[in-house]
Amino acid sequence: MRGHNKQDFSAINYTMISLLSSKVKILIVGGGEAAFIKCRTFSKEGCYVTVVSKEFNKQFSKLQDIYNVKLIKDECKKDYIKNYIDINHIVIIATNSNIINESIKNYCDEKNKLYLNCEDFTQGLVVKPVQGDTSNMKFALHTKGGSPKTSLFMSKIIKDKIEEYSNFIDYTCSIRNIVKRRLQKKEIMNFVCSEDFYFFYTKDVQNIIIEMFYGIEPEKTLTTFQKESLPIL
């Protein structure tokens, strides 16, 4: 391994959840570059975003006409901001004032609000991961050390790998829909989502195997899946 000073982030634990974007309201306090990046990201994913700031980075002009973005030009006064915090699910702290940031953080703690601290991610309750999409899967990841660029780099590698399995993922999801009301559902899906079954899939005998083991005839209910560029086991 090349020489470097390795940091220990083992004490940092994360819990990943997926939010239903169209139901989520985000408040961003601040109008700088960090606020813009978060606004662009959350609005693109379908969340409703309100940004409150005395001044806005000129890049915000790109977002001002988007249906799910509201830009409010005002000072981030303590009592005023509280009203916005109360009506939003998640708060993004992105001002350049330590006093304001600390005030928002304390009020969020008091109201049990989730908040992200753009200045220091360890001082918040939320970390925004890098997200990736394929035709049939959505995934998210971030480094324990807080390096978004590294997460972005790795997400491209992971996306390429997932896409190699794209048709297999479609197939397993279709099987799940067929067996979801069967008593053997768990057993069948454990088998279907295994390296052994994937081997049978690469040999185009997956339906025969399922019928042989479980008496199910997928070919009668599934669309034929064309397998392209399967990864070598």
What pLDDT, on a 0 to 100 scale, did the predictor assign at position 78? 64
Question: Per the domain annotation, does 16 fall within a domain?
Answer: no
In a domain, 154, yes or no: no
Among 63, 19, 76, 74, CA closest to 45: 19
Joined together, the tokens standing for residue 59 give 């890049």
Q: Is residue 51 part of a domain?
A: yes
Residue 173 structural domain: 165-220
DSSP string, the chain: ---------TT---------GGG-EEEEE--SHHHHHHHHHHHHTT-EEEEEESS--GGGGGTTT-TTEEEEE----HHHHHHHHHT-SEEEE--S-HHHHHHHHHHHHHHT-EEEESS-GGGSS----EEEE-SS-EEEE--TT--HHHHHHHHHHHHHHHHHTHHHHHHHHHHHHHHTTSTTHHHHHHHHTSHHHHHHHHTT-HHHHHHHHH---GGGTSPPPPP-SPPP-
Mark which of 102, 128, 154 sits at the end of a domain: 128
**Residue at 174 is within a domain:** yes
- State whether 81 and 177 are in the same domain: no
d(CA 76, CA 53): 6
Question: Do both 190 and 120 map to the same domain?
Answer: no
Query: What does each of the 233 residues of the chain score in pLDDT, given as a tens digit?
Result: 455 555 565 567 888 899 999 999 999 999 999 999 999 999 999 999 999 999 999 999 999 899 999 999 987 666 668 889 999 999 999 999 999 999 999 999 999 999 999 998 889 999 889 999 999 999 999 888 778 899 999 999 999 999 999 999 999 999 999 998 889 999 999 999 999 999 999 999 999 999 999 988 776 655 443 344 456 55
Q: How many CA atoms lie within 13 A of 187 on its CB side?
A: 6
Question: How many Cβ atoms from other residues are within 10 Å of residue 150's Cβ?
Answer: 14
Q: Kindly state whether residues 33 and 119 are assigned to the same domain.
A: yes
What does the pLDDT read at residue 185? 93
pTM score, whole prediction: 0.79
Q: Which residues pair with 114 in a beta bridge?
A: 90
pLDDT of 193 reads 96
CB atoms within 10 A of CB 85: 19
DSSP reduced 3-state for 70: strand
Contact 35, 94 (CB under 8 A): yes
Res 191: pLDDT: 96
Number of domains in the chain: 2
Domain endpoint, select from 128, 144, 179? 128
pLDDT of 13 reads 81
Query: CB count, 10 Å around CB of 45?
Result: 16
